[in-house]
Amino acid sequence: MLHIKCPYCGMRSQNEFAYGGDASVKRPELNKEISDLEWDSFVYLRKSRRGKHLELWHHISGCRQWFKAQRDTATHEIFKTLKPSEDI
């Protein structure tokens, strides 16, 4: 069982959260002309690193806020959680 510190609510059990995937993926800028390749890469390609991974979580059974977490994908140690606007 993971214990995740929601930046808004504090430490809660994993059961309250839903996973949102890699937070380092950047959506191409709105209204900017981009190639199909750039768009497909954004939609489908992931680094999927072993080790430190910046990812999105949703406190779906709590405050319903999205936030970022830096977690080790091999040990599940959570180093830091932060609001979506914050950078690591």
Partner 1 sequence: MQRYSVFSLIKNAFNGHKGWEVAWKDPTPKSEYDVVIIGGGGHGLATVYYLAKEHNITNVAIIEKGWIGGGNVGRNTTIVRSNYMHDDNARFSEFGMNLWRNMSQELNFNVMFSPRGIINLAHSDAQMNVYSRRGNSMRLNGIDAVLLNREEVKKMIPMADFSENVRFPIFGGLMQPSAGTARHDGVVWGYARQADSMGVDIIQHCEVTGFDVVNGKIKGVKTSRGDIKTNKVGLCVAGSTSILAEKLNMTLPIETHLLQACVSEPVKPILDHVVTFGAGHFYCSQSDKGEMVMGGDLDGYNSYAQRGNLPTLQHVLTEGIAMFPFLSKLKMLRTWGGIMDMSMDGSPIIDKTHIEGLYLNCGWCYGGFKATPASGWTFAHTIAHDRVHELNAGYSLNRFHTGHLLDEKGLGTKTWIS
Applying CB under 8 A, the residues found at the interface with partner 1 are: 1-2, 14-15, 18-19, 21-22, 36-37, 40-41, 43-50, 53, 55, 71, 73-76
Residue 46 CB partners (closer than 8 Å, separation 6+): 21, 22, 25
The distance of closest approach from Cβ of residue 34 to partner 1 in the complex, given in angstroms and rounded to an integer, is: 13
Smaller CB distance to partner 1: residue 7 or 16?
A: 16
The distance of closest approach from Cβ of residue 13 to partner 1 in the complex, given in angstroms and rounded to an integer, is: 8
CB 68 within 8 A of CB 23: yes
The distance of closest approach from Cβ of residue 7 to partner 1 in the complex, given in angstroms and rounded to an integer, is: 18
Start-to-end Cα distance in the chain? 24
